[in-house]
Structure 1
Amino acid sequence: MAGGRKIVGLVHVLAALAGAGAMFACVFAGSAAAQILDPPGWRTTVTSRPPAPRLRPTLPDDASTGEEDARAFDSGAFGPNETARAPQPVGVDGIVEDAGGLRPTLADDDAAESEGEEDQPRRVRVPQDGDPVSVIEEAAVQDGIIDLNGPGETAEVQAEITEFDLRSPEDIRAFAGEPAGFDPLLLQANEQNPVFSPSNFQGFLLDPYPPIGTKIGSFLLFTTLEANYDYNSNLFASPNALGDSSLEVRPAARLASNWSRHAVELRASGDLSYHDRYSSEDDRAYVVEGLGRVDITSRSNLQGFLAREYGQESRSAINAESAGTRPNITVDRARAAYNQRFNRLTMQLRGNIVDTSYSTNVFDDQTQSNSDRDYMLYEQAVRPMWEFSPYLFAFADISFNQRDYKIPTFSDGILRSSTGERYRFGVSFGDVSQVLRGTISLGYAHQQIDNHLLPAVDGLLIDADLAWAVTPLTVLSFTATSDVAETTTAYSPGVMERNYGLEARHSFTRYLVGNAGVGYMTRNFINTDYNEEQFTAAVGTEYYANSWSVLFARYQHIDFQSSQAQSSYTAEIVQAGVRLRH
């Protein structure tokens, strides 16, 4: 009996302890549930989460692509700007950050284990010092896209859009049908803008038919063919205006790889024009380029770029003549960049070599040499960028250059070889926001001729590439570029050139887009009394007839003023044509 009573007592004690433990667990369970960061409305299964928003231009495996560049040869993009829905970004410790609802869910590799289970509120991993801002984790570099700015630079992705531009200033204004991201840096500057020229940012696109391209094995091929009628009332950019009409044809093709790692792109473009009265103004220009990216790790890569550009000098170039024939310009470029991301910090080291040469031209029945304009440009640069959020970045761009001339300038006998520095500091608003996107910076430029026979060129740099979606149907864009350009003007060490453009684009219907804008350009010839300025106004329309053809028309008015006698002029330009694309 005594043993039985001991067993019964032991059972009661165990039962009491079990009951106390159950009550204790209930209390703590309620406390833990109160600490869940997700509101009740966010509880959902992994398979039912909303898709992530589009983050940045990518090149998908399927047919979901973005807009082709508005003008393949004019913008230098030589192909479309593909966009696709970004993959669901995966964070640390298997947590997926859902950009659509800003809530954490299980990663895809845990979906099989969670299938069939009841929805349970889950804890969010405690943020650690140095973790990225948990709003939208950056998506990995997508297949086929070669980003010379490296990982983490959301506002500036893919390849250059104005590396190659042999057109006159009136043809390259930001409001001439080009969305934000266009960089009107003139070829005459003979130096790419180290902050913005790698940009392929297209602002807020208003294209109802994104081109899909043609899949060729593990590559995608994009092609365009643009033909237009052009009338220029002052073809020679002269006070004595002579007008002429022409037919212009611009074919372009882009072949991009679609690999899981690394990337290769090949691009080609041509510009052919046939004038009615003055065949000396016919264009026979082309550009070929190749880009490559080698992915070392998920946070570092090496990139390379090779290109050749051939064309004729514009009549409105800094050193151009308004009479005689136009010299041919050949530009060979090579660039390499190393990109490394350290969490929120991205670093880029790059180097650039540009070889520019000019052919002879005929003036007053005399052959005129331009060998004094041939030179080599060497550039070295570093570019750190800090990510505060996907909507705000701060960056600096510091570059050094050496310009090497072989012979002195014919006009004054002074060798123009020089060294220079560029310092730029700015902010980027990324390309995720539905209101404001793009980049703006302020900086300082210094260029000094090696022999110090002429003064240095110093000036403030203002660069911008902004797009503001006023409404879903209206986009306002602002572009600005500034740099030191070369000149053969006697006793001038260089030209401080600045360009500004303001453009408005509006979708009247899904298929009809209108644009209007103004542009302003200034040139200050250092150490001389020469100054130039140009005001441009333009309007245009684009009608997207179907997925493979676009009809367009443009009108431009140009008012050029110069401090030199008999150099000011005005011009009217009318264009109408069709753009075929695939």
Structure 2
Amino acid sequence: MSRSGSLMLLILAGLAVAAPAHAQQAVSGSGFGDGPAGPRSDTFMRGDPFGQSDPGLVEGTQDEGAADADASSFGNSGSSDAGAADPLAGTAPRGTIDGLAAGAGEEAIPLADTRRAQPIQPFSERLRAVSRRAPLGGGGNPDALVFDGDTTRDAPRGIRLGSFLLYPELYTGLGWSSNRAGDASGSSGSEYRIAPSLRLQSDWSRHSLGVNLRGSYTGYPASSLTGDPNVTADALLRLEMSERTELDVEGSYGLSMEDRGTAESSGGDQNIHQVGAGLALRRQIGLFGAELRGRVDSTHYSGIDGASSQTDRDNALFTGTLRVETNTGATLQPYAEASLLKRRYFDRCDNAVTCVDRDSTGYALRAGVGFDTGGKLSGDLALGWRSETLKDKSLARLEGLTVDGSLVWSPARLTTVTGLVNTTLSPSDIAGTPGSVTYSGDLRIAQGFSDALTGEVGAGYSRTDYAGISLTEQEARATSALTYALTSSIALQGRYTFRRFSSTTPGAGYSASEIEAGLRFRR
């Protein structure tokens, strides 16, 4: 992302945050479908601004047009518990999460990732994304109250735009890192980060549309290092075709810099652009739920500060998946998935002597179980096998056992634990290998101390093995953070992160410590 693009994101978010108060006026029943509206109790639980519960109501306020749960979500009542109040926060609300109505297309990002340079995902966003992985038939427990890890004194109120609600946010921070480059030759120094975000959610009675824009730019003063950009943009349109049938249309864009320490980053700094689109049709059939989805994900590389763009790595992956699961409302809900894969590179290989044809076809099989014990504990765990066969038979198959799972555990009213296990198979242009298999896992814990003070700790680990060659990369990361809401719209945030990267490539390992503090502004 260019510096001008980063600045534009900042300006847009700043303008939204500074919008006049009268822009928040809500019109009851306005917009398409006369979305749910009406007065709420002062103790209404704060929840997901993408249609879960009204995050803007604090003690002594009532907003007749604030966002409500999307009661028509597939397999989901959309209800919330409006009567419980946080004992540490008087009548201030605390977060609720409903698995099916998470933010538009948000993906849970592992805490440790050896491939991308990216900031740590906010806990509340991570929680929504983890909850969204719940089985389509069960959809998590919409009545469960789960602390979302965020302060409530500065709960976002949102800005009414017709039948939509807009939630702007801006974070600016200063910090110091012992290894700013994130590689074996990195040096210490100061850094700054600017992170705007805009989130838009419809307030319709049946269908829903959510758009999520989040940006981040990390700069390094008095250094020749290129700044690290990170952008995610996604949209999810959910259409109720009938009482038992739902159609989802999804699009996404992502921008991040390739991690400088990984073996993949050998041709200078590279920005990675990812564009995705998907279509999913879901239907309840008696005691079963079925989903048929198709998706295409395109990845492109562009050089930074004079580095040549590695366009020979540009590719698109086409995926078709059929998923079947039980829909009985039981605590355990088994499911199974089968996928067909086809990967195509944009640079065609027409001569086997001068290039390697890395186009591939493959499949993926997965079976697992979703579980929900009634709000205290929910998640899923699946085992499977994925394989891609390359056209160039001199390269081994890119295949391996897959382990994927998620966890949301609420051992106490102001404590939430999220866990994530992921398996990722990624192509590569390193000689002699078709690509890599990455296993990653982490735990993150959020604790609320009052309506104005929250804390978080987390630890994660990932291991990447390249097929056909002796190359392994590992990363361990630990983080801790505190957030203190100074006012109803400004919060002070601080975070410390330690990272350890190791590789079988001699001299490639390194460690890095980073401390950062800044202010978060939101409406």
**Common topology (TM > 0.5):** yes
In structure 2, distance between residues paired with 1:307 and 1:174: 17
Q: Establish whether residue 382 from structure 1 lines up as the match of residue 322 from structure 2.
A: yes
C-alpha separation in 1, matches of 2:51 and 2:294: 30
**1:31 equivalent in structure 2:** none
Q: 1:573 aligns with which of 489, 509, 514?
A: 514
CA 1:565–1:526 in structure 2 vs 1: closer, same or farther (change >3 Å)? same
Residue 281 of structure 2 corresponds to 338
Choose between structure 1 and 2 for higher RCO, CA contacts under 8 A separated by at least 6 residues. 2
Cα drift, residue 491 of structure 1 = 0.6
Contact 2:254 2:275 in 1 (8 A): yes
Alpha-carbon distance in 2 for matches of 1:66, 1:528? 57
Of 427, 439, 443, which aligns to 1:502? 443
**Amino acid corresponding to residue 206 of structure 2 in structure 1:** R
- Structure 1 residues 36-435: aligned runs within 5 Å: 63-64=54-55, 138-139=76-77, 155-158=99-102, 159-162=104-107, 171=118, 179-180=126-127, 204-209=147-152, 210-317=155-262, 319-321=264-266, 325-361=268-304, 368-389=308-329, 391-405=331-345, 406-408=347-349, 413-430=355-372, 433-435=374-376
Q: Secondary structure of the equivalent of 2:312?
A: helix
| Equivalence for 2:85 | none
Query: Equivalents in 1 of 2:234, 2:297: separation in Å?
Result: 13
Q: Is the 8 A contact 1:176 1:554 kept in 2?
A: no
Shift of 1:361: 4.8
Task: Determine the C-alpha separation between the residues in 2 that align with 1:307 and 1:504.
Answer: 28
User: Which residue identity is paired with 1:235?
Assistant: R
* Post-superposition offset of 1:182: 5.3
Amino acid at match of 2:158: G
Q: Residue 239 of structure 1 contacts residue 569 of structure 1 at CA under 8 Å; is this kept in 2?
A: yes
Contact 2:118 2:257 in 1 (8 A): no
Secondary structure at the aligned position of 1:372 is classed as helix
Give, as a single letter, the amino acid of the residue that structure 1 aligns with 2:107: T
**Secondary structure of 1:368 counterpart:** coil
Distance 1:498 1:411, change over 3 A: farther
The structural deviation recorded for 1:312 is 3.4
Deviations 1:247-272 (A, max 9, x none): 21111112222122322233333323
Q: Return closer, same or farther for 1:341/1:388 CA change in 2, 3 Å cut-off.
A: closer
Which range moved further: 206-215 or 464-473?
Answer: 206-215
Q: Which amino acid aligns with 1:139?
A: S
Unaligned runs of 5+ in 1: 1-52, 68-81, 90-136, 143-152, 184-192
Q: What CA distance in whole angstroms lies between the structure 1 residues aligned with 2:451 and 2:429?
A: 49
Distance 1:221 1:258 in 2: 11
Match of 2:9 in 1: none
Distance 2:122 2:441 in 1: 10
CA RMSD of aligned residues (A): 3.9
Q: CA deviation at 1:59?
A: 5.3
Q: Which amino acid aligns with 1:427?
A: V
Identity among equivalent positions (%) equals 22
| Counterpart residue type for residue 421 of structure 1 | Y
- Give the structure 2 partner of residue 530 of structure 1: 471
Contact 2:214/2:231 (8 A) holds in 1: yes
TM-superposed CA distance for 1:227, in Å, is 1.2
CA distance in 2, matches of 1:575, 1:410: 50
Task: State yes or no: 1:485 paired with 2:426.
Answer: yes
Deviation at 1:396, TM superposition (A): 1.8
Correspondence for 2:91: none
Any idea what the Cα deviations from partners look like across 1:366-422, whole Å, max 9, x if unmatched?
x53412101111111112221332643222222221110124599983121112222
SS across alignment from 2:429: coil
Shift in CA distance, 404/203, structure 1 to aligned 2, threshold 3 Å? farther
CA contact (8 A) 1:556 1:572 kept: yes
Q: Deviations over 1:538-558 (max 9, x none)?
A: 222122334423322111111
Distance 1:312 1:64, change over 3 A: closer
Between the aligned partners of 1:268 and 1:300, the Cα distance in structure 2 is 28
- Letter of the 1:373 partner, please give it: R
C-alpha spacing 1:558/1:310, structure 2 compared with 1 (3 Å) = closer
Shift of 1:470: 2.2
> Residue 440 of structure 1 corresponds to which residue in structure 2?
381
The answer to whether the Cα contact below 8 Å between 1:505 and 1:513 also exists between their aligned partners in 2 is: yes
Q: Secondary structure at the match of 2:290?
A: strand
Alpha-carbon deviation of 1:439?
Answer: 2.0
SS in 1 for 2:327: strand
**CA displacement at 1:501 relative to structure 2:** 0.5
Distance 2:369 2:513 in 1: 37
Deviation per residue, 1:276-323 (Å, 9 max, x gap): 0335421345444433233211211222123333443332455124xx
Contact persistence 1:170–1:536 (CA under 8 A): no
Residue type matched to 1:386 in 2?
T
List gaps (5 residues or longer) in structure 2. 1-43, 59-65, 81-96
Give the number of the structure whose alpha-carbon radius of gyration is greater. 1
- Give the TM-score of the pair, scaled to structure 1: 0.67
- With 516-525 and 160-169 compared, the bigger mean Cα shift is at 160-169
How many angstroms apart in 2 are the aligned matches of 1:273 and 1:464? Answer: 31
Q: Residue type of the partner of 1:250? A: A
Compared with structure 1, are the counterparts of its residues 543 and 440 closer, same or farther at alpha carbon in structure 2 (3 Å cutoff)?
Answer: farther
